[in-house]
Structure 1
Amino acid sequence: MAHVISKTNITTSSSTVTVVDHHRRSLVPQAWEKSVRKIGLAECEQAGISLAHAFAADALSLYLLDGGEADRYSDEAKWKLHVRIMTYLVSAHCYSGVVTTIGPDYDAVALWMPPGAHMDDWWTIFRSGMWRLYYQLGSEGRKRYYEDVLPLLHETMDEVMGDREYYYLAYIGTKPSARGKGYAKKLIMDMAAKADAENRAMYLESSSRENITYYERFGFQYRKEISFKRGPVPVPLFIMVREPVAVKAAEEAVPTMDQIEIVKV
């Protein structure tokens, strides 16, 4: 077994003490700390748990799990259902979209739908487990999700983006214990580079007004606010769009052979 041993001598007034420090090699790939990677179905559960922690206090998550008979659910029951919802969403995006993560323990996760893709087909709904939500949500939760949230999200997307094809950032979250490390930035910019290369826009809904300025750092612009109103307090979402950034100016680009002046001696 490989490990590194370092020795440090500490001298006191009467003797010298040698402290041996064992630095064991970790099996967690070092690249996971700094690099964005795409995950598949085998990792849905871990990514779902990570998103569940990231959105544990999210207003929209609470909106779906409050009201009606759900008010009688225990905290443990609500948490388990919250984890299942996030895991189903991750699975659906693994089937029909793209799921990216960064960090040694799925510390930040992003769910993307590429241009022209969607998760509304029955095959994706069945394979991902999304169909189970109809039976697992309470009666009020079903009304909020199927009659309020989904229709308004689709209508707003069509209104704002029209017939354009774009990258949709459905969810992005960082576990509380991993915040402040720039993970979300790397997830966004990784896909933004792809969108720019294809001259595609990006679209998202933020459930926090405070996050508007955060997304603006990456070129997103606020478009409109929508809200869900079946609960005692309206739950807002803030729609933002990032237009593609033009490729580098010609003078900054690497010259082609046609642009290189050939001098004959």
Structure 2
Amino acid sequence: MSEVKLNITRDVVRASETLYKAFDDSHAFDYITKKFFNLPVDEYVSKDRINAITHYYVACYHDSNGEVVEANDYDAVAVFSLPNQHLPKSLTNDPHFNQVFFHDLKSRLAEVIPEDIHYYYLFMIGKDLTRKDTKGSVRKIFEEYKKRADAENCAIVLEAIAEHARSVYEYFGFKNYKTFHYGVGEVNEQGQPDPNGKGFTGYLMIYHKDGDKVLRE
């Protein structure tokens, strides 16, 4: 098996195209994207608009000293902010969403990670699902950033927006420190407007090489 190649890229367009394919069928991703751009959940939003918003955020991270990294010729792409260089959170016009997705998670993060430990923030990672025969790309990204975090005594923080994603991150050594529910009373599990909808379940997940010793439960 040939070695998986990993590169930090400036090609925001091509990186975004991989993420379009990765999240093409994710109702949770579509819901969050609408929220971030203050679009009503009952408004029809085409994949073209969802993709345009995705591209916007990838470009924001690229422009703000983040790292857009690709593996295996854009088979997988990840978007990180670096320790002490995190983008400020832009609150939405929905106070409840802000509380669940921003304020509560920020508070929990402060509880778990000691002040002297910094962290990488994984904003987004995805694989081109049309390239089913290409393997090892996501693993390569996690291996590289875990190696960097270990050397710097840093953590890596992310939000898993679905149960399947949680399982993947657990496989790579992440641990769930907060389960949260979003979209409740707004949408069902298909992202369709529903005042009785269960919404989605997310997980605040953190990796540290000595997590069991230094991270607080």
- For 1:109-120, what aligned pairs fall within 5 Å after superposition? 109-120=77-88
Deviation at 1:149, TM superposition (A): 4.4
Is residue 86–residue 121 contact of structure 2 (8 Å, CA) maintained in 1? no
Letter matched to residue 168 of structure 1 = Y
Residue in 2 that maps onto 1:56: 24
Q: CA deviation at 1:50?
A: 1.3
Q: Is the 8 A contact 2:122 2:157 kept in 1?
A: yes
What's the RMSD between the two structures over aligned residues? 2.9
- Contact persistence 1:61–1:82 (CA under 8 A): no
Residue 161, structure 1, aligned to residue 109, structure 2 = yes
Contact 2:155/2:208 (CA < 8 Å) preserved in 1?
yes
Larger-gyration structure (1/2)? 1
Partner of 2:215: none
- Change in Cα spacing, 1:148 to 1:202, as seen in structure 2 (3 Å) is same
Does 2:173 correspond to 1:219? Answer: yes
CA distance in 2, matches of 1:156, 1:202: 18
Structure-1 residue corresponding to 2:9: 39
Q: Specify the alignment match of 1:237 in structure 2.
A: 202
How many residues align? The count is 189
Supply the AA of the counterpart residue of 2:47.
W
1:96-135 residue pairs with structure 2 within 5 A?
96=64, 97-104=66-73, 106-120=74-88
Instruction: Say which structure, 1 or 2, has more relative contact order (CA 8 Å, 6+ apart).
Output: 2
Q: Distance in 1 between matches of 2:203 and 2:85?
A: 22
Q: 1:244 to 1:60 in 2, by over 3 A?
A: same
* Counterpart residue identity of residue 127, structure 2: T
Structure 2 equivalent of residue 170 of structure 1: 123
Q: 1:91 aligns with which of 54, 59, 78?
A: 59
Assess if the C-alpha contact under 8 Å between 1:221 and 1:242 holds in 2: yes
In the aligned structure 1, how far is the partner of 2:39 from the partner of 2:69?
35
How far apart, in 1, do the equivalents of 2:181 and 2:157 lie? 17
TM-score (norm 2): 0.75
For 1:212, give the aligned amino acid. Answer: R
Q: CA offsets, 1:106-143, max 9 Å, x none? A: 2211011111112238xxx9xxxxxxxx9xxxxxxx64
Secondary structure of 1:118's counterpart equals coil
Matches within 5 A, 1:147-158: 147-158=95-106
Give the TM-score taking structure 1 as reference length: 0.62
> What is the aligned-residue identity percentage?
24
Verify the 8 A CA contact 2:34 2:40 in the aligned structure 1.
Answer: no
Structure 1's 79 and 206: CA in aligned 2 closer, same or farther, altered over 3 A? same
Contact (CA 8 Å) 1:65, 1:78: kept in 2 or not?
Answer: no
Q: 2 CA distance for matches of 1:48 and 1:161?
A: 28
Q: Which runs of 5+ in 2 are unaligned?
A: 188-193, 212-217
| 2:214 equivalent in structure 1 | none
Residue type of the partner of 1:192? K
